[in-house]
Amino acid sequence: MQHKVTRIYNADILTPEGWIKNGSLLIENGKISKIMDSVTSLEDESNAQVSVDAHGRLLLPGFIDIHVHGGGGYDAMLGNTEHVHGMCRFHASNGTTSLLATTLTATHEEIISALDSIATAMKEEREPDGANLLGAHLEGPFLNPSRCGAQNPADLREPSIEEFDAFWSASQGTIKLMTIAPELNHAEEVIRHAVDKDVVISLGHTDADYETMKRATEWGAKQVTHLFNGMRPLHHREPGAAGGSLMLDQLAVEMICDGIHVHPSLIKWAFDIKPEGKVLLITDSMCAAGLSDGEYVLGKLPVIMKQGKVYLKQEDGTEGGLAGSSLTMIEALANAVKFTGMDIADLVPALTIYPATQIGVQDTKGTIELGKDADLIIVNEQFKVCQTFVQGSRVFDCES
């Protein structure tokens, strides 16, 4: 059983009000119970069964990845709870303390199986040993074949309330986010139906024009899936899906911040022009994340990972288009600092409180504040995750 009171000290703590230098905090029953600066006396430090010296490193809120398919050899689509738990353990070692296990376009039965395993894993009562599973992100099958990317075109289909309801039932109501192309037949009614169930709608793998993107926000869409990737690009006479994503302030945009999917200068530009809280960093990582280069499978599609880049494998064995990523959230943060020149404190919310707010968990997660879940990471100056805590349980220690 996890110790109920933990003290973390000698840390530079990032709070919503700014940094607390050489600070400390107490965790009780999985919640942050006290945050102290260097001059505050620790009257009750003797109550702590565990004391963790951060050695002057950064103490940050844990990352929340709302678009992740797998990692460490694990795959959310395999309909296997151990794969779901495995990907949660892998990403916890890279700073993620909460995630949405993300599906791919597949047959009806395969998606049902994946959603069932995600719901089962989510509702199992167990001591935390990896990132907290917050639910499912349904990416596909309601996507545009002309912008399918690494989604299997053979299994794409038009939106259907009946099929969505089958997915909803299999997920036991744990679908938190759905990617859909708004220009497809019946998209409007499916979007409105899902919004009524408090599912966040993200527009993606879409050939929508600007006007369709704008209408989709009126139907309830709040987000865009991996900005610039899998969508009609910006044109000066027709802003397209990419232009709509940037121009419609009510839309938050996901970005894969690896410098491969989006040019570093465009990443900086998105931060410059989108309103505060509307840029969300994600990994979109697949099972090969954290593994060596080689050949893998994304859904039913063969892929090649070379120097960390994941490509579809063509019939002749050559490299095709990009197929997900091998990115981790701590790498995304490090890249964002490099690409934008922004301060860490200004970028961390794009990996924490902003995604938390998108999916409605901001009251318990996303920042270091009293009463919130103790989802925390200790990070050194080289952007290496040293320790990860999920609801107060230490689930990763780089020295263990």
Q: What is the pLDDT of residues 349-384, one digit of tens each?
A: 999 999 999 999 999 999 999 999 999 999 999 999
Q: What is the pLDDT of residue 76?
A: 97
DSSP 19-44: EEEEEEEEEETTEEEEEE-TTS--TT
Residue 42 has pLDDT above 70, yes or no: no
Q: What percentage of the chain has pLDDT greater than the value 70?
A: 97
Name, in order, each residue with C-beta under 8 angstroms of 143's C-beta and a sequence gap of 6 or more: 105, 151, 156, 179, 180, 181, 204, 205, 206, 230
Name, in order, each residue with C-beta under 8 angstroms of 240's C-beta and a sequence gap of 6 or more: 208, 209, 210, 231, 232, 233, 234
Average pLDDT of the residues of the chain: 95
Q: What is the pLDDT of residue 43?
A: 52
Task: Tell me how far the alpha carbon of residue 246 is from its chain's centroid.
Answer: 20
- Where are the domain boundaries for CATH 3.20.20.140 in the chain? 62-358
276 exposure class (CB count in 10 Å sphere: 0-12, 13-18, 19+): exposed
Residue 3 has pLDDT above 60, yes or no: no
| Residue-wise pLDDT tens digits, 207-239 | 999 999 999 999 999 999 999 999 999 999 999
User: Strand pairing of 96-102 and 132-139?
Assistant: parallel
- Whether 179 and 138 have beta carbons less than 8 Å apart is answered as yes
Number of neighbouring beta carbons within 10 Å of residue 145: 14
Q: Which residue has the higher pLDDT, 192 or 126?
A: 192
Token pair for residue 112? Answer: 């049902």
- Where are the domain boundaries for CATH 2.30.40.10 in the chain? 5-60+367-397
Rounded CA-CA distance 367/15 in Å is 7
Q: What is the pLDDT of residue 41?
A: 46
| Residue-wise pLDDT tens digits, 257-283 | 999 999 999 999 999 999 999 999 999
Mind telling me the catalytic residues?
A: 284
Token pair for residue 55? Answer: 């050695």
Read off the DSSP letter of residue 78.
Answer: G
Read off the DSSP letter of residue 245.
Answer: H
- Whether 223 and 254 have beta carbons less than 8 Å apart is answered as yes
Rounded CA-CA distance 181/167 in Å is 17
What are phi and psi for residue 302, nearest 5 degrees? -70, 140
Rounded CA-CA distance 245/209 in Å is 11
CATH entry 3.90.940.20 includes domain 62-358: no
CATH class (in words) of the domain with range 5-60+367-397: mainly beta
Q: Which residue has the higher pLDDT, 360 or 4?
A: 360
Query: What's the start-to-end Cα distance of the chain, in Å?
Result: 18
Q: What is the pLDDT of residue 40?
A: 56
- Whether 70 and 307 have beta carbons less than 8 Å apart is answered as no
Q: What is the pLDDT of residue 262?
A: 97
Question: 0.85 cut: is pTM over it?
Answer: yes
Task: Give buried/exposed letters for 337-349 (b at 16+ CB in 10 A, else e).
Answer: bebbeeebeebbb
Query: Residue 84: in which H helix or E strand, if any?
Result: helix 81-92
Nearest CA to 75 among 230, 300, 256? 300
- The one-letter code for the residue type at 382 is Q
